[in-house]
Chains A and B, each alone.
Chain A
Amino acid sequence: MRFDTVIIGGGLAGLTAGISLQEAGQKVAIVSAGQNAMHFFSGNFEDAGPVRERISALFAAAGVRTNALDGVQLMPMGKFQPVSLTLEDVTVFPEEHIAEKALIVNFTGFHDFYCTFLAETLEKAGTACRIRFVRLPEMEHLRTSPSEMRSVNIARVMDEYWEKAVADIRILLGDEDLIILPQVFGLKDASVLDKIRTSLPARVAFVGTMPPSVPGIRTQMLLKRRFEVLGGTFLMGDEVTSAALHEGVVSSITTRNLDTARLFADHFILASGGYFSKGLAATPTQVFEPLFGLDIDYPEERKDWYDADFFAEQPFMDFGVKTDASLHAVKDGEPMKNLFCIGSVLGGTRKEDYGTAAGLAIRTAFAVVDTIKGGNV
């Protein structure tokens, strides 16, 4: 099967590249083994500032709405974090004093939303907080097994019964000017968020929960659908198992499901993620890129891989695939001619040019798309 470009990995990086290339008229296939880091997404695209208009436009066409605002976001563990581009689910505040009085509402039995941490932080910044719980009969079946009181399960109930929750919150609301709710709304359809905002008589802020991330999962679904609507081929749950390489050129790849039906393309993009997504792998003696065996720089001594202080920045998080200036993968010291690397598989190797985290995923995807579109590959 022949494509213009085949992308390995369907996370934020792979989908951004895939959608852009389809929009430019290319025939693209994305192969993705299982789901990805978007399912754990906080809603904040770190380091995406320099491309926020371009990515917001791409998202908007997919039905993903964003806030391109500078400010702070209240994080699940009760810290504030500066932001410049977030999903619409995130309420962006100009400063840490976010309200005079806030009502923090949670669902009874939902332990992945840390109301007391949030209250502590807010009180320090001068916001008086009250914590209250809502209990809906429609959710009782989840409570029979505590491990099922999870964000996604609640969101599936809320997609249908959000109005009942809103009715209860109206009763609980006192003289607060802000209501804080967990991000468990709008798994399929984000318009619920606006409906909730307009049906309550105070400002509403949605704050992230422990994973999985409801806004992240919705975004992933919408981006995948956009890619498919544009005519892209998304091979879900399949895994690239080998590649045919010759003199620095990848001619085709095989996948677990398609086996003998190889995928041929002019360009290949490796967007396989970091350790978490198995784009990078490690044993006690080596760190490697499992699919192509691409070059990775890291210290020989294992003790130099990590910092014994668990909370310090860990050196191994910066290890990643080596690339040339235009993000061609490097193998055995030589840049490959038609294999690019984008997103977390780069680790921290291109921090200076493209940042880290979601910003790295988006900015490297755009850079490679521009190279491919420009024809100067």
Chain B
Amino acid sequence: MKLQEYTASAHNFEECMKCTICTAYCPVVPVNPRYPGPKQAGPDGERLRLKDPYFFNQALKYCLNCKRCEVVCPSGVKVADIIQSARIKYDHAQPRLRDVVLANTDFMGKLARPFAPIVNGTTALGVTKAVLDATFAIDKHRTFPKYSGRSFERWLKRRAKEQAKFDKQVAYYHGCYVNYNYPQLGKDFVKVMNALGIGVQLLDKEKCCGVALIANGMSKKAAKNAKHNVDVLQKAVDAGLKVLTTSSTCTMTIREEYPGLLQVDNSGIKDSVLLATRYIYQLIESGQAQLKFKENYRARIAYHIPCHLEKLGWGIFSTELLKMIPGVEFTLLDSNCCGISGTYGFKKENYESSQAIGKPLFDQIKSVNPDFVACDCETCKWQLEMSTDYPVKHPVSILAEALA
């Protein structure tokens, strides 16, 4: 009986009323004629694929999984989930070496970190970039994220005793980026939490959330990571801890993609995994804690909301926190994708689209001319720092630098 298979989809594609609104807001459509657009790639295509997998279209790989189509759809169709699930289900091509390298953020981090000065030196060199471009199809215009000499985990482990002294405790899912590339954000987070009277603990060996694995066709490995993470998160939750994060994408992946795309049950931990900005805001708003800021802090900040934070609907916590700091002149940038979308923009074949997608945002930043840009996402930071002349800071780092 194939009837069931023909008609039933795990996703609600049949609720699509063909209004094309998703297509109006998809950032890829105007820059890449090869991409069929969310409606065609999502609900329309799904109906055909259920009849015959022959209709699977390789062009689905151009989807950024930015979720903007889902945010605007009046019928609540999970357009991006449909597209990503179709890639998981029907695309059996082996991922190429380049994609494996880009996707394994934690493995690469571990490997690169001990040699950080060499790796940073070589990936910054024109020659290396040209080689990466030619042999790996990683675009030569890209600046590689720097690897840090000492991991964040090691830094925090050394301070475990002093952190344990705080009565209130939270666990921190730092993600690959804080651990290998930018431990300073983790340190800023600890500083802010300590100022709130809260100690920070590591999880019992977190793994990469898996977002880059999903994007690069390695969903089996992503599901393995997801199961592992749900287990260690559950341990923390069982010990009565909230688990805070500083990456909007890791958070969206753990909360939404684990059950939605990877079929990994996260019901025991979902409500306890929160972005730090949300947790801090609610703590301050409810009067349970306070932050004291410098009296002479001054900054003109333009805030860019990352796609996955828009999807979570939690941008408001970051913006309200920033507005709370005395001396901040705040501008909200229009909600536009910056174009990098994790590993997507690193690939040579996507470089041009990636920059074209981000152009309205780059132009707006230049016209606002802030002291710096605020943003909760690490890959947006790379993209914006490369494509504009403005530094990009995480809201938590801004809180930390404004603390008295």
Contact = CB atoms under 8 A, between A and B. Distances in A.
B314 A257 contact: yes
B30 A156 contact: yes
5 contacts: A1-B285, A34-B72, A35-B21, A257-B312, A257-B314
B76 A255 contact: no
B19 A235 contact: no
B36 A145 contact: yes
Interface stretch (B37-45, B129-137, B388-396): B37-45
A94 interface: no
Interface string A217-257: 10000000100110001011110000000000000000111
Contact of A212 (B24, B278, B311, B316): B24
B371 interface: no
B20 A212 contact: yes
A211 B19 contact: yes
Contact of B332 (A228, A238, A259, A260): A228
Contacts of A233: 316, 319
Contacts of A125: none
Given A236-B335, A257-B313, A257-B314, A152 B20 contact: yes
B73 A34 contact: yes
B114 interface: no
Contacts of A150: 20, 23
A233 B320 CA distance: 10
Contact of A237 (B36, B278, B311, B320): B311
A150 B334 CA distance: 25
A235 B316 contact: yes
Q: Which 5 A-B pairs have the closest CB atoms?
A: A257-B313, A237-B71, A141-B33, A34-B74, A152-B24
Given A39-B19, A156-B30, A236-B335, A147 B312 contact: no
Contacts of A147: 18, 39-40, 44
B272 to A, nearest CB: 11
Given A39-B74, A237-B71, 13 more contacts: A34-B74, A39-B19, A39-B21, A152-B23, A152-B24, A153-B29, A156-B29, A211-B20, A212-B24, A229-B332, A236-B71, A255-B313, A261-B278
Interface in B271-317: 271, 278, 281-282, 285, 310-314, 316-317
A187 B219 CA distance: 37
Categorize the interface residue count of chain B.
35 or more
A187 to B, nearest CB: 7
A254 to B, nearest CB: 12
A107 B18 CA distance: 21
Interface in B67-102: 70-76
Contacts of A255: 313
A33 B334 contact: no
Nearest to A211: B19
Contacts of B2: none
Contacts of B30: 156, 159-160
Nearest to A261: B282
Contact of A148 (B37, B75, B317): B37
B74 A148 contact: no
